[in-house]
Amino acid sequence: MKPSLMTFAVASAAFLLGNASVNAAPATLGAKFEFNGLLDGSPVSGSIYDGDIHSGVPRDVNAPPSLLSGAPSLSDSYVLQGGDPFGGDTGDDFEVTQSPGHAVVGFFDIFTHYGFGEPAVQAGTFIAAAPDTGYLEIQNNTTKEFVGTITLSGQAYGGIYGPAQFFSNSGSVDLKPGEFADIVLNNESSNYGGYNHPDAIPDSGATLGMLGVSLIGLLHFARRPVRA
C-alpha cells in the first residue's frame, strides 16, 4: 500500500506582551527556516519562523540594555533579528545577551543564537559577521541518518544596514544521529528591520511533513497576538 503523507502544523505562539500603543502594526514572522530530505530513506520536510522559536526567558525590548524605548514589550523569541518582534535595532548589548531560542519540529531540535563572530563551519554560503549576527542550528535527535537541504530565508523590511531585500541561504547536510549543522542568514541579522511581515507573507507558523515516519511530541499553540 502506498504510504500517505502526514502534515502537522504548530501555530504561532510568540511571548509578546505590551501596553496599548497608537502603532497597531502587526509583528513580523521572523526569518524562516526550512528543511527537506530523507530520514533513513523516508521523505521528511518542515519549517518554522524565528518568531516561533522561544528561549523561555522573556525580556522587555524597550528597556535597557536595549536601544529601543516605549511601552513595555516582552518577548522571548526573534533571536535572529535581535529580539524585537517589530524589527527594531535593540543594539549589541541586548542582542548578544539573548538566551538561545529552542523549538522541536518532529524529531529535530532547532536552536537560534546571537553573538559576535560566526560559526566556524556553516551549511550553505559561509557568511562572516560584521561584527555580530544570528545563526540557526538544527540537530538530528533521531536514531537515523538525515540527508537533505536546509534553508534560512527572509524578506527584510529594511534597516540601518540596507534597504528592503530578500535574503536566502541554503546548503546540503548529512546529519547522523546526534549531529548538528549551523546556517547564517546574513552578516548582521539584527540590522535589517526584521523579516517576513505577515501582510506580505501569509504563510505562518511551523510545519512538518513526513512520509512513512511516525511523529510524536508536537504541541499546538494559540496564534501570536498582534501588538495594539
For residues 192 and 37, what is the distance between their CA atoms, to the nearest angstrom?
A: 30
Higher pLDDT, 161 or 121: 121
Cα angle 153, 159, 164 (rounded to 5 degrees) comes to 55
pLDDT, mean of residues 134-151: 97
Highest mean pLDDT among 191-195, 209-213, 219-223: 191-195
Higher pLDDT, 207 or 40: 40
Model confidence at 225, pLDDT cuts 50, 70, 90, reads very low
* Domain positions in the chain: 5-15+35-211
Least confident range from 30-39, 161-170, 207-216, 218-227: namely 218-227
For residues 214 and 211, what is the distance between their CA atoms, to the nearest angstrom?
A: 9
CB atoms inside a 10 Å sphere around CB 101: 27
Q: In angstroms, how far is the first alpha carbon of the chain from the final one?
A: 51
Predicted local confidence at residue 161, as pLDDT: 85
**Alpha-carbon distances of 63 from 29, 45, 207, rounded to whole Å:** 22, 38, 33
Give tens-digit pLDDT for 58-99: 999 999 999 999 999 999 999 999 999 999 999 999 999 999
Highest mean pLDDT among 82-96, 157-171, 211-225: 82-96
Check: pTM over 0.85? Answer yes or no. no
